[in-house]
A = this chain, B = another copy of it.
Amino acid sequence: MKFISKIALSAVALAMMVSPAMAEKTVKWKLAMTWPSTLTPLASPPAKVAKLVEEMSGGKFIIRIEGKEKHKAPLGILDMVKGGQYQMGHSGSYYWKGKDISTIFFTTIPFGMTTAEQYAWFYYDEGMKYMQQVYDRFNVLNFPGGNTGVQMGGWFKKEINSITDLKGLKMRIPGLAGEVFAKLGVNVTNIPAGELYTSLDRGTIDALEWVGPGMDIKMGFHKVAPFYYTGWHEPASEMQFMINKRAFEKLSPENKAILLTAMKAASADMYYENFAASANAWEQMKSEFPNIKVKTFPLPVLKEMKKATDELLDSYAAKDEQFKTILESQRTFMKKARAWTIISDYNYIKTTMDVE
């Protein structure tokens, strides 16, 4: 201290003024997510964003993450980000369908787009525009937050051979898919995650839907329900990052760009992470439980599911102009996107199967 002259002290004081970088305070944000902190790959995008943002800003932008185990409000994320208790959230848009039915389009819909089709719609068609329109009323900005790819149709204790087999079946399946199954006579219930395995094992329920091999293997369902049905209801479930608008506006241009880029990189990465986890888990399940049978629902059942889905979507569209607009945007884009998917990805996989 004794070496510092009066002049030098003034100099340091002035340096604080003339150097915006030095004067700039560290930005500290909190992010609340629907998942427990350990639930990968869903919990991975927020963790990656926090790490990347800290590294890119040289420690001047810090995001602290709170999982469900801490804030205890997994389905309160949107309200907490809207209210500013958290600057950021990570969740699934379709959880807010009670607040606005149009939120479902930014996760996935039954018989809807694949991951590639949906990202093309988000970034190179009308998706981002409509997503922001829907979330404007909540005063939050909303961005893609990672995709699970095709989710499996669920674990069933008995094989489904006809519509009749669905009547009275007790199944845990949430969301629009649950509404479709209810239309087909299924007794749809919801059960907390922690009780699912026991409920399925003891026959309290006959079937349930979860995600895909990578996440399902941790739950152990394959040990008690041997029929694993292929997907129809969540072809590309996209998670969401939401940001309180006022908080975002206060960020420097650099921090805005850093946050947006980190979210885009981390959301793309979740798809790769979940894909690898499912490939590995599926190989393990099959070898440890060779009695598992992969089934696709019989065509008459699928046709009824498709009919029920279209009726549900059209009935929402009849009551809600915004829903109708976005449904039409998705249907229009999906029509041309699917034609391309079929001649590219679908035909390629078929070719590789045929030559074996």
- A residues near B, CB below 8 A? 7-8, 10-15, 18-19, 21-22, 52, 55-58, 111, 114-117, 119-125, 149-150, 152, 212-213, 230-232, 235, 252-254, 257-258, 261-262, 264-265, 268-269, 271-273, 275-280, 282-283, 286, 294, 296, 299, 302-303, 305-306, 333, 336-355
Identical copies in the complex = 2
Q: How far is the CB of A356 from chain B (nearest CB, A)?
A: 8
Q: A10-B11, A345-B349 are in contact. Are A336 and B265 (CB under 8 A)?
A: no
Among the listed B21, B235, B345, which residue makes an inter-chain contact with A19, where contact means beta carbons less than 8 Å apart? B21
* A120 and B52 contact, Cβ closer than 8 Å, known pairs A18-B12, A18-B15: no
B272 and A123 contact, CB distance less than 8 A:
yes
Question: Hey, which chain B residues are within 8 Å of A341, CB to CB?
Answer: 349
- Which single member of B254, B296, B343, B352 contacts A55 (CB below 8 Å)? B254
Taking CB atoms, residues of chain B closer than 8 Å to A345 are: 114, 149-150, 345, 349
Q: Which residues of B contact A339 (CB under 8 A)?
A: 279, 282-283, 286
Closest CB-CB distance, A320 to chain B, in whole Å? Answer: 25
Residues of B within 8 A of A351 (CB): 230-232, 296, 302
> B111, A352: Cβ atoms under 8 Å?
yes
A306 to B355, CA, bound (A): 7
A340 / chain B contacts, CB cutoff of 8 Å = 213, 275, 278-279, 282
Q: In the docked arrangement, what's the CA distance between A91 and B125, Å?
A: 27
Quick one: which of B14, B283, B302, B343 contacts A354, CB cutoff 8 A?
Answer: B302
CB distance from A152 to the nearest CB of B (A): 7
Q: Beyond the given A18-B22, A56-B254, please list 11 additional residue pairs across the A-B interface where CB-CB is below 8 A.
A: A7-B11, A11-B11, A11-B18, A111-B352, A120-B275, A213-B340, A261-B261, A282-B340, A283-B336, A286-B339, A299-B354
Within the complex, the shortest CB–CB distance from A48 to chain B, in Å, comes to: 9
Please list the 6 inter-chain residue pairs (A to B) with the smallest Cβ-Cβ separation, ordered nearest first.
Answer: A21-B21, A124-B276, A268-B268, A15-B15, A11-B11, A55-B257
Nearest-CB residue, chain B, relative to A346: B349
